[in-house]
Amino acid sequence: MRKQYVILLGFLAFAFLLFLLRGLPLFNGLYSGVQNVFSGPKSAIYKLKTGIVGGENSEMERLKKQNDSLSKKFADYTKTIRDNEALRSQFETVETSEYKLLPAEIIGFIGRLNEPSEFVIRVGKNNGVKRGMAVISGLDLVGKISQVSESYSRVVLLSNEAFTEVARTSENGSLGIVTGHRDFILLAQVSIKDKISENELVMTRGAGETIDSLVPAGLRIGKVTSIYKNASMPYQTARLSSSVNISKLETVFVVLGF
Amino acid sequence: MSPKNIIQMVPLILIPFEATFFSIPFFFITSMLLYILKPQVGIVLVAFLGSIVLDILRVMPVGSTALALFSAFLLVEIMRGEVIFTDYKLATIFIFIASFGYGKIFQYSDNILIYAIIFSSVYLFISYFYRRSSWLK
């Protein structure tokens, strides 16, 4: 009995030491090695789960073309938004930006089977990914990077309770904060004086004078499905639905720069 | 490779599946089950290595699963020899509570019905297969 205690306490102490020292560059090779070894099997298992079968080379070619096309569309779209904002305000200057997108394969998820709360993607620090970066599919925001390791990253999805982002409505320009609530997405802290309409699109607000964000403006978060308004309260809220089908996603794009 | 060694490797085989799409902590459950039935150094070693690999693949703080698992092992060891683990029903309830708690903290599914179904199967395994087979003895 005593020997068993010693063994267990020894392993427990070693695990604690590893937990404390996990951030040391010494272990980067180990993390990278393990993640690279398991990347192939995880990718295959995840593809089985989503029911998608295809050749890797042709899939990569298709994704590269899609990446190029999306990068251009994304730049044109956000420039149009900024042009409109500039015309409205008459004081802003508009800069043309190129958005740097990194394609990332989804190789796992965390949370419930039918409603995952996070994705694990096959890019990490080695690819220039940083915490807080936006992850998109088309022009839709899928989530934000929450954890980064050498070759993998975790993406917190819109429905995750840890997700928050400043947003504005597309038609009325009302500002609010989008938060995840497991089964739905909520646009909260919208001033009672601002107008929100049903079926109105909600987009990311992006960085501003007082907001430091790695998420660019103009990404689609969702559509307003219902509004909760009480004239005696200073704020109103709205429930949103995302147009992204999470269960069918296989590849997403990380916005590295804008 | 003997059947005993194959069964000891089951937690490791489950790791790529659990790190990809399982929403139940099967690695934790199988490690606990094997440790309660056969507290050998081989199982302890597999559990430690597997928990490190699982943390790396799930992009969790490395060592966190090992801390949780070995704390549970230590609790098993403290309680072993007392009344609780001579009765397999109580052992199953202990694993159920431990894995549900672990699942809640480490962002697995918190659907209690799924856990109840799994643990009914675990209990049947312990009650019938273990007692009637010499593989694990």
Identify the pLDDT of residue A134: 93
**In the block, which residue shows the tokens 């903290």?**
B105
Helix axes B3-18, A28-50, angle to 10 degrees: 80
Burial class (CB in 10 A: 0-12, 13-18, 19+), B43: buried
Distance from CA of B70 to the nearest CA of A (A): 6
Structure tokens at A33: 């090695």
End-to-end CA separation in angstroms for chain B = 16
Residues 6+ apart with CB under 8 A from A150: A28, A31, A32, A35, A124, A125, A126
pLDDT classification of B90: cutoffs 50, 70, 90? confident
- Which chain A residue shows the shortest CA-CA distance from B68? A12
Stated pTM of the model:
0.80
Q: What pLDDT band is residue A147 in, cutting at 50, 70 and 90? A: very high
A41-52 pLDDT per residue, tens: 898 888 887 765
B52-71 residue pLDDT tens: 999 999 999 999 999 999 99
CB pairs under 8 A between A and B: 111
Q: How confident is the model at residue B9 (pLDDT cuts 50, 70, 90)?
A: confident
Q: Is the pLDDT of residue A61 over 50?
A: yes
pLDDT tens digits for range A156-213: 999 999 999 999 998 888 899 999 988 889 999 999 999 888 888 899 988 765 566 7
- Show residues of chain A in contact with B58, CB under 8 Å: 108, 110, 120
CA distance A65 to A61: 6
- d(CA B127, CA A27) in angstroms, rounded, equals 43
Model pLDDT, residue A106: 93
Decide: helix, strand or coil at residue A190.
strand
Cα dihedral across residues B110, B111, B116, B118: positive or negative: negative
Task: Identify the CA nearest to B51 among candidates B100, B114, B123, B106.
Answer: B106
To the nearest whole Å, the CA of B97 is away from the closest chain A CA by 19
> What is the per-residue pLDDT for A68?
59
Asked if B107 lies within 8 A of A111 by C-beta distance, the reply is yes
Which position has the token pair 């607000």? Answer: A205
Percent of chain B with pLDDT over 70: 85
Window from A92-101, A131-140, A219-228, B76-85 with minimum mean pLDDT: A92-101
Burial degree of A205 (CB within 10 A; 0-12, 13-18, 19+): buried
Angle at A241 between CA A212 and CA A97, to 5 degrees: 35
Report yes or no: A187 and A164 within 8 Å, Cβ to Cβ.
no
Quick one: pLDDT at residue B87?
67
Backbone angles phi, psi at A154, to 5 degrees: -110, 140
Query: What pLDDT was estimated at residue A118?
Result: 93
